[in-house]
Chains A and B, each alone.
Chain A
Amino acid sequence: MRIALVIWLSLWVIATHTGCQEKGDDLGSGRRGPVFVEVAKHVGIDFQHVTGASGGYHYVETYGSGAAFLDYDGDGFQDLYLVNGAPLPGYSSATPPTNMLYRNNGNSTFGDVTHMTGTGDPGYGLGSCVGDYDNDGKVDLYVTNFGPNVLYHNDGAGAFEDVTRRSGTGDSRMSTSAAFADVDNDGELDLYAANNARISLQEEGCYRGEIPVYCAPTQYDGDSGILYMNEGDGVFADATRSAGLYRDSGRQLGVVFSDYDGDGDTDLYVANDMTANFLFRNDGTGHFEEVGLISGVALSDNARPEAGMGTDFGDFDLDGDTDLVVCNFQWESCRLYRNDGNSQFADVTFPSGLGEPTLRTLTFGTGFLDYDNDADLDLFLANGHVHPLVQEFDGATTYAQRDQLFQNSGDGVFVDVTDEVGAGLEPAKVGRGSAIADYDNDGDLDIFVSNSGQRGSLLRNDGGNRNHWLSIRTVGGASNRDGIGARIKVVTGGVTQIREVRSGSSYLSQSDLRVHFGLGSAQIADRVEIHWPSGIEQILRQVAVDQILVATEPGQ
Chain B
Amino acid sequence: MDHFRTVRRAAVFGVLCAVLLLQGIACDTPAREQPSPEDPIALESDYRRRLEIAPADTAARYKLGALLYRQARYDEARTCFQRILAVDPNHADAHVGVARVRAKRGDFEQAIDAYMRALEEAPDLVDGLQGLGAVYLRLERYGEARNVYRRALSISPSHAPSHYNLGVAMAQESAYEEAALQMHEAIRLDAEYLLPYHALGDIYCIKLGRCEEAVQILRQAVTQDPDQALPHLSLGWAFHRLGRYQEAEEAFHRATVADSTSADAYRGLGQIHASQGQFEPATQALHKAIRLEPLDHEAHYHLALAYQKQGKTKQAGAAMRTFESLNGHVDAIRRWRTVLEGDPHDARARFEIGRVYSQVGIAARAVEQFRLSLAVEPAYVPAWHNLGNAYARLQRMEAAIDAFRRALTLDEEYVSSWNNLGSAYFTEGDLDQARSAFEKALELQPGYADAHHGLAGVELRSGAPEAALNHLRSALRADSTYAPAHYGLAMTYLQLGDSTRAGQEMQIFRRMQGNKEGRRTQP
Listed in ascending order, the chain A residues whose CB lies under 8 Å from chain B are 209, 241, 246-247, 290, 293-296, 299, 301-304, 331, 333, 340, 342, 344, 346, 350-351, 355-357, 359-360, 393-396
Are A294 and B174 CB-contacts (below 8 A) given A303-B297, A350-B242?
Answer: no
| B223 interface residue per 8 A CB criterion | no
Distance between Cα atoms of A312 and B175 in the complex (Å) = 31
Nearest CB to that of B302 among chain A residues?
A303
Instruction: Determine which of A241, A293, A301, A356 lies in contact with B324 in the assembled complex, contact meaning CB atoms within 8 Å.
Output: A293
Query: Pick the contact of A394 from B174, B208, B209 — CB < 8 Å?
Result: B174
Q: A303-B302, A344-B309 are in contact. Are A395 and B175 (CB under 8 A)?
A: yes
The smallest beta-carbon distance between A361 and chain B, in angstroms, is 11
B-chain residues with CB within 8 Å of residue A342 when the two chains form the complex? 309, 311
Tell whether A351 pairs with B209 under 8 Å between CB atoms, given A293-B320, A303-B297: no
Residues of B269-324 at the interface with A, using a CB-CB cut-off of 8 Å, are 271, 275, 297-298, 301-302, 304-305, 308-309, 311, 316-317, 320, 323-324
17 CB contacts below 8 A, A to B, read A241-B523, A246-B523, A293-B304, A299-B301, A303-B297, A303-B301, A304-B330, A333-B209, A344-B309, A356-B208, A356-B209, A359-B207, A359-B209, A393-B173, A394-B173, A394-B175, A396-B174
A241 to B210, CA, bound (A): 45
B243 within 8 A of A: yes
Leading 4 A-B pairs by shortest Cβ distance: A356-B209, A351-B243, A303-B301, A359-B209
Q: Most A CB atoms within 10 A — which of B304, B308, B311?
A: B308
Known contacts A299-B301, A302-B298, A303-B297: does B174 contact A331 (CB below 8 Å)?
yes
> What's the Cα separation between A76 and B143 when bound, in Å?
58
- B211 part of interface (Cβ distance < 8 Å): yes
Q: Tell me whether B207 and A350 are in contact (CB under 8 A).
A: no
Q: In the complex, are the beta carbons of B209 and A355 less than 8 A apart?
A: yes
Q: Is B443 an interface residue (CB 8 A)?
A: no
CA distance A209 to B173 in the complex (A): 12
A232 CB → nearest B CB, Å: 27
Contacts A247-B522, A396-B177 given: A294-B317 contact, CB under 8 Å? yes
| Cα of A356 to Cα of B214 in the assembled complex, Å | 13
Closest to A246 in B: B523
A350 contact set on B, CB distance < 8 A: 211, 240-243
Q: Give CA–CA (A333, B301) in the complex, Å.
A: 20
Expressed in whole angstroms, the minimum distance between the Cβ of A194 and any Cβ of chain B is 16
User: A293-B304, A359-B207 provided; 14 other pairs, C-beta below 8 A?
Assistant: A247-B522, A290-B522, A293-B301, A303-B301, A303-B323, A342-B311, A344-B305, A351-B243, A356-B209, A359-B209, A394-B173, A394-B174, A395-B177, A396-B175
The answer to whether B211 touches A294, judged by C-beta atoms less than 8 angstroms apart, is no
Residues 176 to 214 of chain B near chain A (Cβ within 8 Å): 176-178, 207-211
Q: Tell me the bound Cα distance from A360 to B210 in angstroms.
A: 12
Chain B's closest residue to A345 (CB) is B305
**What residues on B are CB-neighbors of A296 within 8 Å?**
305, 308
Q: In the complex, what's the smallest C-beta–C-beta distance from A221 to chain B, in angstroms?
A: 13
Q: Closest residue to B271 on the A side, CB-wise?
A: A301
Q: Contact check: which of B175, B176, B207, B308 meets A294 at CB < 8 Å? A: B308
- Select from chain A the residue with minimum beta-carbon distance to B300: A303
Residues of A within 8 A of B311 (CB): 342
Q: Select B522's contact among A246, A302, A356, A359, beta carbons within 8 Å.
A: A246
- The smallest beta-carbon distance between A503 and chain B, in angstroms, is 26
Collect the chain B residues with CB atoms within 8 Å of residue A331's CB: 174, 207
Interface residues of B (CB under 8 A from A): 143, 173-178, 207-211, 240-243, 271, 275, 297-298, 301-302, 304-305, 308-309, 311, 316-317, 320, 323-324, 330, 522-523
Bound-state CA distance A373–B207 (Å) is 34
Please give the distance in Å from A226's CB to the nearest CB on chain B: 14
Chain B nearest CB, measured from A53 CB (Å): 24
In the complex, A302→B522 CA distance in Å? 25
Shortest CB-to-CB span from B141 to chain A, Å, is 11
Known: A356-B211, A357-B209, A359-B209. A303 touches B298 (CB 8 A): yes
Q: How far is the CA of A241 from the CA of B521 in the complex (A)?
A: 13
Cα–Cα, bound, A290→B210 (Å) = 35
Contact indicator B241/A355 (Cβ below 8 Å): yes
| A356 proximity list for chain B (CB < 8 A) | 208-211
With CB as the reference atom, state the residue of chain B lying closest to A245: B522
List of A residues within 8 angstroms of B317 by Cβ? 294
For the complex formed, measure the closest distance between the CB of B272 and the CB atoms of chain A, giving whole angstroms: 12
Q: Are B298 and A294 in contact (CB under 8 A)?
A: no
Q: Give complex CA distance A393, B208 in Å.
A: 18
- A302 surroundings in chain B (CB, below 8 A): 298
In the assembled complex, the Cα of A395 lies from the Cα of B523 at a distance in Å of: 45
Closest A residue to B177 by beta carbon equals A396
Cα(A209)–Cα(B328), bound, Å: 28
Q: What residue of chain B has the Cβ atom nearest to residue A355's Cβ? A: B209
Chain B's closest residue to A290 (CB) is: B522
Docked CA distance A277–B275 (Å) = 21
A209 to B298, CA, bound (A): 33
CA distance A348 to B501 in the complex (A): 61
Provide the residues of chain B in CB contact with A290, threshold 8 Å: 522
Smallest beta-carbon distance A442→chain B, Å: 36
Residues of the A chain whose Cβ atoms lie less than 8 Å from the Cβ of B240 = 350
C-alpha spacing A294/B143, complex, angstroms:
40
Q: Which residues of A contact B522 (CB under 8 A)?
A: 246-247, 290
**Contacts A350-B243, A395-B178; A294 near B304 (Cβ below 8 A):** yes
Query: Which residues of B are found within 8 Å of A303, using beta-carbon distances?
Result: 297-298, 301-302, 323, 330
Closest-CB distance, B303 to chain A (whole angstroms): 11
CA distance A302 to B323 in the complex (A): 12
Q: Within the assembled complex, what's the spacing in Å between the Cα atoms of A180 and B207? A: 38
C-alpha spacing A293/B327, complex, angstroms: 12
- State A303–B174 Cα separation when bound (angstroms): 21
* Nearest-CB residue, chain B, relative to A343: B308
Q: Which of A246, A294, A344 is most buried by chain B, counting CB atoms within 10 A of its CB?
A: A294
Closest approach, in angstroms, between the C-beta of A549 and any C-beta of chain B?
Answer: 39
Q: Which residues does chain A contribute within 8 Å of B209, judged by CB atoms?
A: 333, 355-357, 359
- In the assembled complex, the Cα of A428 lies from the Cα of B209 at a distance in Å of 21
| Closest B residue to A244 using CB positions | B522
Contacts of A304 on B, CB cut-off 8 Å?
330
Give chain A nearest CB distance to B19 CB in angstroms. Answer: 12
User: In angstroms, how far is the closest chain A Cβ from the Cβ of B328?
Assistant: 12
- What's the nearest-Cβ distance from chain A to residue B274, in Å? 9
Q: A333 CA to B243 CA in the complex, in Å? A: 16
- How far, in angstroms, from A295 to B271 measured CA to CA in the complex? 16
Q: How far is the CB of A250 from chain B (nearest CB, A)?
A: 11
B316 — which chain A residues lie within 8 A by C-beta?
Answer: 294
Measured in the bound complex, the distance between the Cα atoms of B301 and A359 in whole Å is 23
A contact residues around B210 at 8 Å (CB): 356
Cα separation A302 to B309 with both chains bound (whole Å): 18
How many Å from the CB of B24 to the closest CB on chain A?
10
A356 (CB) vs chain B CBs: closest residue: B209
Residue of A with least CB distance to B176: A396
Smallest beta-carbon distance B243→chain A, Å: 4
- Report A-chain residues with C-beta under 8 Å of the C-beta of B174: 331, 394, 396
Cα-based distance from A344 to B330 in the complex (angstroms): 25
CB atoms of B241 and A359 under 8 A apart: no
Name which of A302, A344, A355 has the most chain B CB atoms within 10 A of its CB: A302
CB distance from A301 to the nearest CB of B (A): 8
Closest approach, in angstroms, between the C-beta of B496 and any C-beta of chain A? 42
* B146–chain A nearest beta-carbon distance, Å: 12
Q: How far is the CA of A189 from the CA of B317 in the complex (A)?
A: 34
Cα A295 to Cα B323 in complex, Å, equals 14
Residues of A within 8 A of B178 (CB): 395
Q: How far is B179's CA from A395's CA once the two chains are assembled, in angstroms?
A: 12
Check A209/B301 contact, CB under 8 A, given A294-B316, A355-B209, A359-B208: no
Q: Within 8 Å CB of A299, what residues of B?
A: 301
Q: How far is the CB of A410 from chain B (nearest CB, A)?
A: 17
How far is A247 from B523 in the complex, measured between Cα atoms in Å? 9
Q: For the complex, what is the distance from the CA of A360 to the CA of B177, rounded to whole Å?
A: 12
Measured in the bound complex, the distance between the Cα atoms of B207 and A394 in whole Å is: 14
- List residues of chain A with CB within 8 A of the CB of B143: 209
